[in-house]
Amino acid sequence: MKTMPIERIRPGKPRAGTRLRGLAAAAFASLLGSPASGGLLAEPEGYTPERKWPVVVCTQNAPSAEVFKKTPYFLLHEGGRGVKVAEAIRDSLVRLAEKRNIDPMRIYATSFSRGGQEIIRQASQYPGRFAAIAPIGSDLRARDDFGRQGIRHAGGLRIPVLALYGQGDGYRAAGLQAYEAMQQAGVPVTVETYPGGHDPRPIWDTELNKAWMDFFARHRLDPYPREVTHWVDHKRFSRALWVQSRLIRDMGSADGMFTVSVKENNRIEVEANDKIAGLDLFLSDRLVDMNQPVTVVEGERELYSGPAAEKISVELRDGEPYPADPLRPLWEELEKARQKSAWMAELRAAGKDGETSVLDANRERGDGYPR
């Protein structure tokens, strides 16, 4: 098969002639108990529970299951948009973790067109859900349930993004402008193009799929980054990694914003707008020395000074914050399902732990991208 080139587009240098405009399951249903419209589409041919395996999620269209099963990735599909599909993805991943040894730190997403915008939105609203994403042919000009343009969600991302467009895709020009806006917002994003138009097949079902699978393999979720920044447009999106916010009231388009940063000497600095009533900080020895006192400040105001604890709550505004159910990060839910699974019990009985990532094992052997 003739190799088709991938072209990287560098910041501020769109292709000549580009005019920037506008902003831009059936097979495994029984395993997850999912309806035929979604669920697990492909399982790696070499699967063994003795290794942790990564998962790729998509919401609109899907790569070929025949191609995918020859890779080290599980392929999961849940169609739709918004909270409904976000919950379906979470539930399917938890069920999969009960049945197969998947890696909670290596959940990725790729999706096409409107689905590309969907995974961008989910990655923004649920930080820590995906380790990296690769939207294809996405048009970020469309609006979400709160009337927000997709570009605002894109600007809130803090995970690696590989944005892919066919060279003849009509959404490409808007995508390039969105890409530059994302870079200015600090998003670690790369844009690449491939031969073709508004069609994911060349990048999904040919040898070009190596480009985004290699991209995924280079990235693993860090559940405890030393800085967390999050935009909260509803209480259901109030958790970001190790920080949960409490809003001053229950409303759509709440526009809460916060940044929490861990500094030297167990000092934690908080910035938040007036829509955030308080924060719960779920600490770990990966963030602070849990044997030493912790200080939490907002500007010159001291919010907390005392022993380190797994959970520290601080109040930022007077009055009663709107109550919200505690939210757990997806990786914690998946890890809990793994540890309680029958396959894990069998591994332990055999004196094995199943904690080595298949991607790490392949890299150590020098295999690179396994086919």
- The CATH number of whichever domain residue 206 belongs to comes to 3.40.50.1820
Do residues 69 and 211 share a domain?
yes
What pLDDT was estimated at residue 360?
82
Do residues 89 and 160 share a domain?
yes
What pLDDT was estimated at residue 30?
39
Residue 182 makes CB contacts below 8 A (sequence gap 6+) with 151, 154, 155, 157, 161, 189
Domain boundary among the residues 315, 332, 366 is at 315
Do residues 279 and 174 share a domain?
no
Do residues 34 and 95 share a domain?
yes
Q: Is residue 190 part of a domain?
A: yes
Do residues 139 and 240 share a domain?
no
How confident is the prediction along the chain (371 residues), in pLDDT tens digits per residue? 333 454 544 433 333 332 222 222 333 333 444 433 458 888 999 999 999 999 999 988 788 888 888 899 999 988 877 888 899 999 999 999 999 999 999 999 999 988 888 888 899 899 999 999 999 988 766 555 544 555 666 777 889 999 999 999 988 887 777 777 788 888 899 888 899 899 988 888 887 788 888 999 999 999 999 999 998 888 888 999 999 999 887 666 678 899 999 999 999 999 999 999 999 999 999 999 999 999 999 999 999 999 999 999 999 987 666 656 668 899 999 999 999 999 999 999 999 999 999 988 765 544 444 43
Q: Is residue 345 part of a domain?
A: no
Do residues 186 and 279 share a domain?
no
Give the CA distances from residue 186 to residues 133, 157, 163, in Å, rounded to whole numbers and listed in that order: 16, 8, 15
Do residues 194 and 257 share a domain?
no
Do residues 133 and 277 share a domain?
no
Q: Is residue 211 part of a domain?
A: yes
Q: Give the helix ranges, DSSP H, for the chain.
A: 29-32, 65-68, 82-99, 114-125, 150-155, 172-184, 201-204, 209-217, 330-339, 342-349, 358-365
Do residues 151 and 73 share a domain?
yes
What pLDDT was estimated at residue 270?
97
What pLDDT was estimated at residue 2?
36
What pLDDT was estimated at residue 322?
64
Q: Is residue 19 part of a domain?
A: yes
pLDDT in tens, 148-185: 555 666 777 889 999 999 999 988 887 777 777 788 88
Do residues 20 and 52 share a domain?
yes
- Alpha carbons 298 and 113: distance in angstroms, whole number: 41
Q: Is residue 137 part of a domain?
A: yes
Buried b (16+ CB within 10 A) or exposed e, 192-210: bbbebebbbebbbebebbe
| The token pair that represents 296 in the structure block | 């939490």
Do residues 264 and 209 share a domain?
no
What pLDDT was estimated at residue 144?
52
Give the CA distances from residue 270 to residues 49, 130, 179, 260, 291, in Å, rounded to whole numbers and listed in that order: 42, 25, 28, 5, 22
DSSP type of residue 357 = B
Do residues 119 and 133 lie in contact, with contact meaning Cβ atoms separated by under 8 Å? yes
Per the structure, the complete domain to which residue 187 belongs is given by: 7-217
Structural domain count of the chain: 2
> Strand 294-298 to strand 267-272: parallel, antiparallel, or no bridges (unpaired)?
parallel
Q: Is residue 371 part of a domain?
A: no
Do residues 234 and 157 share a domain?
no
Flag whether the pTM goes above 0.75. Answer: yes
Question: What is the strand order of the sheet 311-315 is part of?
Answer: 239-240, 243-247, 276-282, 311-315
Q: Is residue 14 part of a domain?
A: yes
